[in-house]
A and B are shown apart, each in its own frame.
Chain A
């Protein structure tokens, strides 16, 4: 491989990490509250509210059922509106975020559902308000599970970021496509793929470790 390609791969790694980081961060900023909302407004829960639950639930399901590639294309005008461009690393963050939000929301919801109902009952009997129960009882109890879910989500975003390369995003995915597919340079293809796999595994493992360290049971 030429020096040029090695440099390109190096900056590709950096771009991939940037995209993953920002998209994961933004998707949690929106997905976490959505997940909490889905959980809290469902039947028999703290803030039971059918209309809210139904609307959020349908929106999340719709978003999730779109294949990511389709979402990428559909979002081009929106991406251009937000970032001023529809190609490049920065632009990829938009569809990655949008694609990850529903996954994050459902994952958060299911982590919260794992919390023992007895804990909520105990908190209620102590005279805690619904908000207090959410913040001081349910979220702490769900933390290990939330971290485990976060590891999966970040790894998924990283995988998706490779796909974003298809429509002009940066990162390793774009390199794999350009050199590996269009120019048929096998060594570049395999190097980038290996790097992607290693990165996914590292994220997954460190997430698991973090969750395990946090789990007191």
Chain B
């Protein structure tokens, strides 16, 4: 598998009127060809800064960003512009030309690349078909909904046949239903056109839905990186835990009650396992939080449970869940309260 982007010890320091602020600290990561790579973090973590280094909208202060092995910092203006034809980007605010029709918007990258008028139009029509907006080609963006505008932006981004699509909070301005539709469209494009996609988001649900791998950025640092499933099942860094843990868990009843988190990823969700637990073992647990959803009839999600204080009983319960094929992870009492505190502050 080829590496599309390779970041090596990237630092980014902003300098505003003598005030220095380091938005990225020693970030190293790879983005592989054909994957959907998520970058998640809290507001101000440095996600936008990071993605903007990928097409050199932002220069790095030190370190390297390689695109198919080429150091972006070494490119001359013209070379950089050519590379940018291969790296498309979509934005939270869509950034369409409001004084131009939908099709004229989609034609923009082709016009930049010097494609003749007729070929431009044809290609733009094809792109509009992909995003399901062929009927809107003569319409001005002001008359489109947010979801439709983002579709136009996606069509525009695809028009230059890029190798990568960068999405900076592309769904943050949209409601959950439309977000779902846009994400479906992106993953369809990823599959059918073998397009590598980098998605920036602050919503775990977005990562969960379509990303293959995820990087968690915390205060400018790479806190964790890995397969989405793995990070969900077993978040190691505190930043990851904060993101993965459901918001606002109930406070545990006792100080030393043991907390566990069970994750079900589609395998066992149809079973009423809490009821089964009570029935089989006669032991009860306290559900502190549950975050579950059904995707195509299969349940995904996790629960944080408080176990009885008796260690023997704890063992029995843990064993029960493990035998049921669920992944069980111990949760530090503090981790949960830390997570809930963060939520309260926001």
Please indicate which of the listed interface residues B57, B93, B97 has the most CB atoms of chain A within 10 Å of its own CB: B97
Residues on the A chain within 8 Å of B83, using CB = 127
Binary per-residue interface labels of chain B (75-104) against chain A in the complex, 1 for a CB within 8 Å, 0 otherwise:
001001111110111010101111110000
Please indicate which of the listed interface residues A125, A136, A215, A217 has the most CB atoms of chain B within 10 Å of its own CB: A125
Whether B140 contacts A216 by the Cβ 8 Å rule is: yes
Whether A121 contacts B95 by the Cβ 8 Å rule is: yes
Minimum CB distance partner of B108 in chain A: A126
Whether B112 contacts A128 by the Cβ 8 Å rule is: yes
Query: Given A119-B95, A126-B109, do A217 and B57 touch, yes or no (CB 8 Å)?
Result: no
Whether B112 contacts A127 by the Cβ 8 Å rule is: yes
Residues on the A chain within 8 Å of B111, using CB = 136
Partner of A121, one of B82, B91, B98: B91
Query: Given A122-B89, A132-B112, do A127 and B82 touch, yes or no (CB 8 Å)?
Result: yes
Complex Cα spacing A126 to B77, Å: 13
Whether B99 contacts A214 by the Cβ 8 Å rule is: yes
Minimum CB distance partner of A122 in chain B: B95
Q: Name the interface size band of chain B.
A: 20 to 34
Complex Cα spacing A123 to B166, Å: 14
A112 nearest CB across to chain B (Å): 13
Binds B, one of A17-25, A74-82, A87-95, A139-147: A139-147
Minimum CB distance partner of B113 in chain A: A127
Residues on the B chain within 8 Å of A214, using CB = 99
Residues on the B chain within 8 Å of A124, using CB = 57, 84
Binary per-residue interface labels of chain A (144-172) against chain B in the complex, 1 for a CB within 8 Å, 0 otherwise:
10000000000000000000000000000
Residues on the B chain within 8 Å of A51, using CB = none
Whether A125 contacts B89 by the Cβ 8 Å rule is: yes
Say if the beta carbon of B314 comes within 8 Å of chain A: no
Complex Cα spacing A132 to B85, Å: 14
Residues on the B chain within 8 Å of A132, using CB = 112
Binary per-residue interface labels of chain A (41-81) against chain B in the complex, 1 for a CB within 8 Å, 0 otherwise:
00000000000000000000000000000000000000000
Whether A127 contacts B81 by the Cβ 8 Å rule is: yes
Q: List the 9 shortest-distance A-B pairs measured between CB atoms, nearest first.
A: A127-B84, A122-B95, A118-B95, A216-B140, A127-B81, A125-B89, A126-B109, A217-B142, A127-B85
Residues of A within 8 A of B (CB): 116, 118-119, 121-129, 132, 136-137, 140-141, 143-144, 214-217
Q: List 7 A-B residue pairs with CB atoms under 8 Å apart, sorted by A's residue number.
A: A123-B112, A125-B55, A126-B84, A126-B108, A127-B82, A137-B97, A141-B98
